[in-house]
Amino acid sequence: MFCNNFRYKLKPFINPALRNTEPDFSKMSNPKGFSKPFEPALRRGSRPWKQIASAKPIVSIVLPALLFVAWFSACTPVIDPPGISIHRPFLTETFLSTTDGAKLSLRTWLPEGKPKIVLLALHGFNDYSNFFDAPAKFFQARGIASYAYDQRGFGNSSKQGTWGGINAYANDAADAVSALRNHYPTTPIFLLGASMGGAVGIVATTTSKPLPLNGVILSSPAIWGRLTMPWYQRLALWLGAHTAPWLKLSGRGLGIKPSDNTKMLIELGRDPLVIKETRMSTLYGLVNLMDVALFRAAKIKIPVLILYGEKDEIIPKQPTLKMIQGLSGQWRVALYKEGYHMLLRDLTAATVWQDIENWIKDPLAPLPSGSDKRNFRVLLGDDK
């Protein structure tokens, strides 16, 4: 399968203003300590064609290669952007209505009486709001209300499998916080993001307009951006997204263990709302999000709790350490020796839940598990 109508599709490649694509975050100024990312690009002002033509031994190889890349680059990763703002965001019992009128499926776990604290939970990549069912019931029994919605392109939302764009996901989170604050004007509200949800949480809480939050919890945040990827992975991602954005990939056969909770993993495999195969363009969008999240984590101004499993096989230790090293303000890191990527659903998840409960009640108090006392610099590869 190839991209049809080459002349029409090449126009957005020449003029990015004509397409709905993610901005090229790989070209942002690099924070100190990061290597310059690899990103193939066609640049204006390069050698004149006459000089190139004079290099006959080279042109026979380079020119066809450039034409090949230009041809297939007509297949650009396209996003499904939100519409224009039409009203203020609001919540019902079953959905979050965002400013552009999108209805995102909503789950709630409310305690009896007025909640002491409110949690807004953002799910990870290819997952949906049901990910928070077990921890939410734990918090519910302790007087804490939990809300979780299906992000665009995931779960029960429309156009499942598509990518809404970084701004869309961050704006939806901001809309949810705004709607919750209208409903709970004086109750402490915390945002909890798992994996991709953590990346969305970072972007949403570092915009020019601060969110009315009391803190943010990042569980195995997806911050594995291009800045910490080897060049061959960046190259493969770019080629895949620009030659076959429609191609669907699965994680089968990779040998990655996301959790030690086998029963839970089997249930996810049977759940039709959990996406099993990911479009190349959606994966490209996720990496763009991780780029921005890694870059913007240093700008978080509200209290932040970072949770990371020492056996995480999804998000490497290097970018996690880079993110931690750039933090400022009030922050705490909890490392779980037996924890995997899906900390909130691991066999030892109750320990994580208790730490979260303790932290949201008193961000300055030590965590019950003692996971915040572990030497993260040594464990994550920095022995200085």
**Does the structure show a pLDDT above 80 at 351?**
yes
28-42, 248-262, 298-312: which has the minimum mean pLDDT?
28-42
> How do residues 236-294 score in pLDDT, each as one tens digit?
899 888 888 888 888 777 789 999 999 999 999 999 999 999 999 999 999 999 999 99
Q: Give SS3 for 142.
A: coil
Domain contains 123:
yes
CATH number at residue 149: 3.40.50.1820
> Mean pLDDT for the chain?
83
**Does the structure show a pLDDT above 90 at 344?**
yes
* Residue 233 exposed, middle or buried by CB count within 10 Å (0-12, 13-18, 19+): middle
H or E segment and range at residue 147: strand 144-149
Give the pTM. Answer: 0.82
Angle value at C-alpha 216, between 153 and 95, nearest 5 degrees: 35
110 CB neighbour count, 10 Å cutoff: 15
Q: What is the pLDDT of residue 81?
A: 83
Percent of the chain whose pLDDT exceeds 70: 78
CB burial of 30-43 (b: ≥16 within 10 Å; e: otherwise) equals: eeeebeebbeeeee
C-alpha to C-alpha distances, 176 to 91, 119, 246, 253, nearest whole angstrom: 8, 11, 31, 37
Q: Sign of dihedral through CA atoms 337, 338, 343, 347?
A: negative
Q: Stretch 318-343: mean pLDDT, rounded?
A: 93
Domain contains 165:
yes
**Does the structure show a pLDDT above 80 at 378?**
no
Max CA separation in the chain (angstroms): 80
User: Secondary structure of the chain: what % helix, strand, coil (to 5)?
Assistant: 40, 15, 45
Q: What is the pLDDT of residue 91?
A: 96
Looking at the structure of the chain, the number of domains it has is 1
More confident residue, 134 or 81: 134
Q: What is the pLDDT of residue 4?
A: 43
65 CB neighbour count, 10 Å cutoff: 9
Q: Stretch 136-160: mean pLDDT, rounded?
A: 95
**Does the structure show a pLDDT above 60 at 296?**
yes
169 CB neighbour count, 10 Å cutoff: 26
Domain contains 267:
yes
Q: Give SS3 for 87.
A: coil
Domain containing 178 equals 90-379
β-pairing verdict for 278-279 and 248-249:
antiparallel
**Does the structure show a pLDDT above 80 at 75?**
no
63-77, 205-219, 269-283: which has the minimum mean pLDDT?
63-77
**Does the structure show a pLDDT above 60 at 54?**
no
Domain contains 115:
yes
Domain contains 182:
yes
Q: What is the pLDDT of residue 21?
A: 47
Domain contains 19:
no
Domain contains 339:
yes
CB burial of 140-158 (b: ≥16 within 10 Å; e: otherwise) equals: beeebbbbbbbbbbbbbbe
H or E segment and range at residue 96: strand 95-97
Q: Stretch 313-342: mean pLDDT, rounded?
A: 93
Q: What is the pLDDT of residue 22?
A: 54
The answer to whether residues 96 and 104 touch, using CB atoms and an 8 Å cutoff, is yes
Q: Stretch 215-222: mean pLDDT, rounded?
A: 97
Q: What is the pLDDT of residue 44?
A: 34
Place of tokens 């900390």: 343
Percent of the chain whose pLDDT exceeds 90: 64
Contacts of 112 by beta carbon, 8 Å cutoff, 6+ apart:
none
Domain contains 32:
no
Query: What tokens does 382 get?
Result: 């920095």
> How do residues 167-205 score in pLDDT, each as one tens digit?
999 999 999 999 999 999 999 999 999 999 999 999 999
Q: What is the pLDDT of residue 247?
A: 87
The answer to whether residues 235 and 211 touch, using CB atoms and an 8 Å cutoff, is no
Q: Stretch 322-333: mean pLDDT, rounded?
A: 92
